[in-house]
Structure 1
Amino acid sequence: MFTFSTLMRAIAVVLVAGAATFATSQAADLRVALKTEPSSMDPHFHVYSPNIMVGMYTFDKLVNFDEKMNLVPGLATSWTATDDQTWEIKLRPGVKFHDGTALSGEDVKFTIARAISIPNSPSSYERFLKPITNVEIVDPTTIRLKTAAPFPLMPRYLATFAIVSKKHAENLQTADYNTGKAMMGTGPFKFVEWVKGDRIVFTRNDAYWGEKAPWDKVTLRPMGSDAVRVAALLAGDVDVVEQVPTTDIANLKSNSRVSLVQGPSSMMIYLAMDSSRDASPFVTDKQGRPLDRNPLKDARVRKAISKAINREVIVDRVMEKNGLPAGQIQLDGTFAASPRLKPEAFDPDGARKLLAEAGWGDGFGLTLHASKNHYVNDDKVAETIAQMLVRVGIATKVETMPSASLFSRGTKLEFSFLMAGWGSNTGEPSEVLTGLLHTNDPAKGFGGANRGRFSNKELDTALEQALVTVDKTKHEQFLVRATEVAREQDGVIFVHFQTNTWGLRKGLTLTPRVDSYTLAAVVSEAK
């Protein structure tokens, strides 16, 4: 059995064996321990955070997100809506792929066609590229993207997919990326090898068009175990580890051989409730008997649940001060975050009053379904929320399961009350509003993750207007209003944002990113 004492003895051994390595680590090489290994090197195979992050070492995008998910130029220097259904993109001149081939509009056109047609993709890029109906190459550095309807999100969607070389990728498949045959990008690093389960290796692209990376060589090492990652950092076997567990943060802060960097994450933890069915499978009376009516349909009950949750306690004690209470989809200060929305105040008396007003003064029973080891301390957060609800009269049990089961069963509407998380891929709330809170409408692509079947006409209207309003100010106003309606009606309950924590060998520093990506280009020797 693997115990804490076993881990400590293992660390003691590797500390002795690795002390010289730690002390003599060469500044020109960087070794990074990843929490999760990518599923492929093909940048279009899977919309999956580990794949996206690793792809950014070799490939570039037309538009980039900075560390706060603001849009900044990438391979495109400008993007302009010339009319409601046309976006003109100017490509950066002088950019070359790693073999010296010049980037052109042909590569962009090829990429868009390729990315929507990858066989056996677990999660396709089609959702980001489907609005584009035609790609017109005006000249080698100018392209026009046509859409069937106004599409204000185009610049943000251009920041989601990597540009590949038509010369090298044409007629090649995902397997050719995994072997390295097709790994020809314009990015800051050149691909060397992927030994699955062991390492991914890159070397610096000295001809990179942007700021040169400070590392000659980067080795990414997948280490799924939190304990193994921390032990590797302490032993000097790696220079950077991502997703430091909250239980180790205090000890690492006091260790003179390492340093920690922390920053807010866009990953928002929320509670979804069955607000549509008259009878719900895991809603009972306090003795566990099924009810023939569903209290979660009443907005007052949903608000009572929100008021019963002490977000400060969750962040301070369960997350060990590594999180932020959430009051909406986006972090404060980001695009389309409402300045009027603050986290719901803890108010158990107010919760009891609302339950009584709604006719549930005697309480009822719920089961909260949640993942285990998918989000940070997810099972502990779920148990804490359940205890808080019990105190206002809602007898709440918790059932945890692997995330794949939670999402699959939740999509089949098998639950009444579930906890999950969402971090926007686009740096604004429309993706979450579209998937999580708009009325379920598969034909139009709305509500695919709306596992509580929340429905509100005002929210739907505001979101749909935002999605076809190119004027940036009006577009943001519609998104803000949709977010405010979601909060007013508690379509889901926003609990907290996770905090990202990286561990580094002493002497290194890192620029933390809201999207949680660990990029060697933003790791450097501390000055």
Structure 2
Amino acid sequence: MTGRLATALLTGAAITVLAGGAQAETLTIGTAAEPSALDPHFHNLGPNNETRRHIFQSLVDTDAAQRLEPGLAESWKAVDDTTWEFKLRKGVKWTDGKDFTAQDVIWTLCRIPNVKDSPSSFTIYTKAVADAQAPDPHTLIVKTDSPYPLVPTEFSTWGVIQAPEDAQDLKFKKDGCEYAGEWPKTEDFNAGKQVGTGPFKLERYTKGDRIVLSRNETYWGEQPAWDEVVFRPITSPAPRVAALLSGDVDMIDSPPIQDLERLRSDASIEVAQGLSNRVIYLHMDQHDETPGVKGTDGKNPMQDKRVREALSKAINREAIVERIMGGVAEPAAQLLPESMFGSDPELKVTAYDPEGAKKLLAEAGYPDGFELVIGTPNDRYMNDEKVAQAVAQFFTRVGIKTSIDASTAPVFFKRRNAVDFTMYLAGWGAATGEMSSPLKSLAATPDKSRGYGTTNPGEYSNPEMDKLLTEALQTVDDEKREELLRAASRTVMNDYGIIPLHYEVTPWAFRKGLSYEPRADQYTLAMYVKPVN
């Protein structure tokens, strides 16, 4: 009898460790969200980035604390202020048996800007590249137009895909690579045309049901413990917990806060948690015409700093953390926790001040408030809809009659990008682990040529912040760059250009006999789930 069959007969599910200590072959994970596509470059979104790391690897990897470590590149160094040299790992094979080379990286850099209909492009992390050359199969030379110290950091955020035969001599061009063929389609990745270098390879993808991965036996690194991994999207919290308790899954991410005490008291369950880099925030539309307000004589009140400040002061973040998040969060003063690079330790959480909020609204010309609709997902972030409801109640108390428009994540993101909301609640996890990531995407003035404002559909703009951010991204000296990022963060926060609410503290729950180190990036990575002997 095979290990997998024995496990199924004993438990009716893919339980990880048998009573006698023998390791089973399949790990089943229940996830709170699923990727919008298996194309590693389609959507810069947490579930997508999490999934691709199992199959497609980066030149530079990150550990649980988001410190850089070797990936497909064994080493990297700055040759001068505008030149980086990456030495690629030898002996790496694609799952079709072909050798991984520097040409695959050049092909990937060329392909990222050519992903059709990308909701949030990875060009934010490739725009700095002015040239890329492969003097030999295991050396990559990257040039930038100006000093850009974040090249290795940003190269940790996207996965490398295999170059086709007709692209082996493709030359990188910043204004568009001249490729005569057809760029890979997102639908092809979803259909299972996956060739990667990672610890797993795709066996089956059924949207809304499961992603099945098998161990890549030719993987260059440490082999994962599991022959097979099954990711099952169980977006409703109660069924996800029930699946763990019944043994239908071995591990779940984002267990609901209200169930954590129950899970911890269960002798068969372990819970691990840690502070994440994900901020939950409110985005405000800055266009002259906006769809989600009434009672303002056609004006967009979000264009007035006094209104934005009033909204921030109207929110009791401590109450949300305590009552809605059950303490599994920390009130946010800016877009990254204070412990992370570029966060300003001088910034403090906006104090709850409803009377001050009312005064500011009156000064702005809205003594009787106005009506507002907040858009929010209801299945993407921890208690996202409940948090939005709480914010709506706080706003209503200061005279802004507020309702919410909640939808599933795919619907929400589509509507968000179409600027259907005057205000929306969302989250951002800094893939680079430092302040330029949220500033560049969420707060910078949209500029495709620089990869700025890729997730800033409301087009908030602060030229002073843009200048500080641009200077920081050109400063090689770490201390000077960090001070510039702190100044950029202060500029946005003092302008109330975006309203941070809290940082998520991320929990995982799993069966006894497993271990998992909490990750700041919140990713659930099967290769780091270990059986405990």
Q: Please classify the TM superposition score into its range, dividing by the shorter chain length.
A: 0.7 to 0.9
Q: Among 371, 376, 381, which residue is 2:382 paired with?
A: 376
> Alpha-carbon deviation of 1:221?
2.8
> Alpha-carbon deviation of 1:520?
1.3
- Does the 8 Å CA contact 2:16/2:531 hold for their aligned counterparts? no
Tell me: CA distance 1:420–1:179, structure 2 relative to 1, closer, same or farther (3 Å): closer
> Alpha-carbon deviation of 1:486?
0.8
- TM-score where L is the length of structure 2: 0.83
- Does the 8 Å CA contact 1:310/1:388 hold for their aligned counterparts? yes
Q: Secondary structure at the match of 2:254?
A: coil
Q: Among 177, 200, 203, which residue is 1:189 paired with?
A: 200
Q: Which residue of 1 aligns with 2:61?
A: 64
Q: Deviations over 1:433-490 (max 9, x none)?
A: 2332223455655434434443323212112222333333333222221111111111
Q: Which residue of 2 aligns with 1:55?
A: 52
Tell me: CA distance 1:236–1:491, structure 2 relative to 1, closer, same or farther (3 Å): same
> Alpha-carbon deviation of 1:176?
5.8
Q: Among 159, 163, 179, which residue is 1:162 paired with?
A: 159
Q: Which residue of 2 aligns with 1:466?
A: 472
> Alpha-carbon deviation of 1:296?
4.0
Tell me: CA distance 1:91–1:444, structure 2 relative to 1, closer, same or farther (3 Å): closer
Q: Among 53, 71, 76, which residue is 1:74 paired with?
A: 71
Q: Secondary structure at the match of 2:266?
A: coil
Q: Secondary structure at the match of 2:370?
A: strand
Q: Among 267, 275, 282, which residue is 1:256 paired with?
A: 267
Tell me which moved more, 289-298 or 240-249.
289-298
Matched, 1:497 2:503: yes
Matched, 1:89 2:95: no
Q: Which residue of 2 aligns with 1:202?
A: 213
Tell me: CA distance 1:273–1:126, structure 2 relative to 1, closer, same or farther (3 Å): closer
- TM-score where L is the length of structure 1: 0.84
Separation in structure 1 between the aligned mates of residue 271 and residue 478 of structure 2, nearest angstrom: 38
> Alpha-carbon deviation of 1:190?
4.2
Q: Deviations over 1:352-388 (max 9, x none)?
A: 454455565x441231312241332222212212222
Q: Which residue of 1 aligns with 2:395?
A: 389
Q: Which residue of 1 aligns with 2:175?
A: none
Separation in structure 1 between the aligned mates of residue 363 and residue 39 of structure 2, nearest angstrom: 55
Separation in structure 1 between the aligned mates of residue 119 and residue 424 of structure 2, nearest angstrom: 23
> Alpha-carbon deviation of 1:494?
0.8
Q: Which residue of 1 aligns with 2:103?
A: 106
> Alpha-carbon deviation of 1:316?
1.1
Q: Among 230, 233, 237, which residue is 2:248 paired with?
A: 237
> Alpha-carbon deviation of 1:192?
3.9
- Does the 8 Å CA contact 2:375/2:421 hold for their aligned counterparts? no
Q: Among 406, 430, 440, which residue is 1:400 paired with?
A: 406
- Does the 8 Å CA contact 2:30/2:240 hold for their aligned counterparts? yes
- Does the 8 Å CA contact 1:370/1:379 hold for their aligned counterparts? no
Aligned sequence identity (%): 42
Q: Which residue of 1 aligns with 2:223?
A: 212
Q: Among 292, 309, 315, which residue is 1:309 paired with?
A: 315
Tell me: CA distance 1:223–1:480, structure 2 relative to 1, closer, same or farther (3 Å): same
Alignment size in residue pairs: 506
For residue 36 of structure 1, what is the amino acid of its counterpart?
A
Separation in structure 1 between the aligned mates of residue 358 and residue 439 of structure 2, nearest angstrom: 29
> Alpha-carbon deviation of 1:238?
1.5
Gap runs ≥5 in structure 2:
1-7, 168-180
> Alpha-carbon deviation of 1:56?
1.6
> Alpha-carbon deviation of 1:158?
0.9
Separation in structure 2 between the aligned mates of residue 267 and residue 450 of structure 1, nearest angstrom: 17
- Does the 8 Å CA contact 1:189/1:204 hold for their aligned counterparts? yes
Gap runs ≥5 in structure 1:
1-13
Separation in structure 2 between the aligned mates of residue 516 and residue 328 of structure 1, nearest angstrom: 19
Q: Among 429, 432, 448, which residue is 1:423 paired with?
A: 429
Tell me: CA distance 1:173–1:506, structure 2 relative to 1, closer, same or farther (3 Å): same
Q: Which residue of 2 aligns with 1:27?
A: 23
Tell me: CA distance 1:229–1:387, structure 2 relative to 1, closer, same or farther (3 Å): closer
Q: Deviations over 1:79-107 (max 9, x none)?
A: 22323332211123444444665433233
Matched, 1:128 2:125: yes
Q: Deviations over 1:134-193 (max 9, x none)?
A: 32222332210123444333212211222234478978955665565542x332234444
Q: Among 483, 487, 494, which residue is 1:477 paired with?
A: 483
Separation in structure 2 between the aligned mates of residue 478 and residue 37 of structure 1, nearest angstrom: 36
For residue 311 of structure 1, what is the amino acid of its counterpart?
R
Q: Secondary structure at the match of 2:468?
A: helix
Separation in structure 2 between the aligned mates of residue 450 and residue 102 of structure 1, nearest angstrom: 39
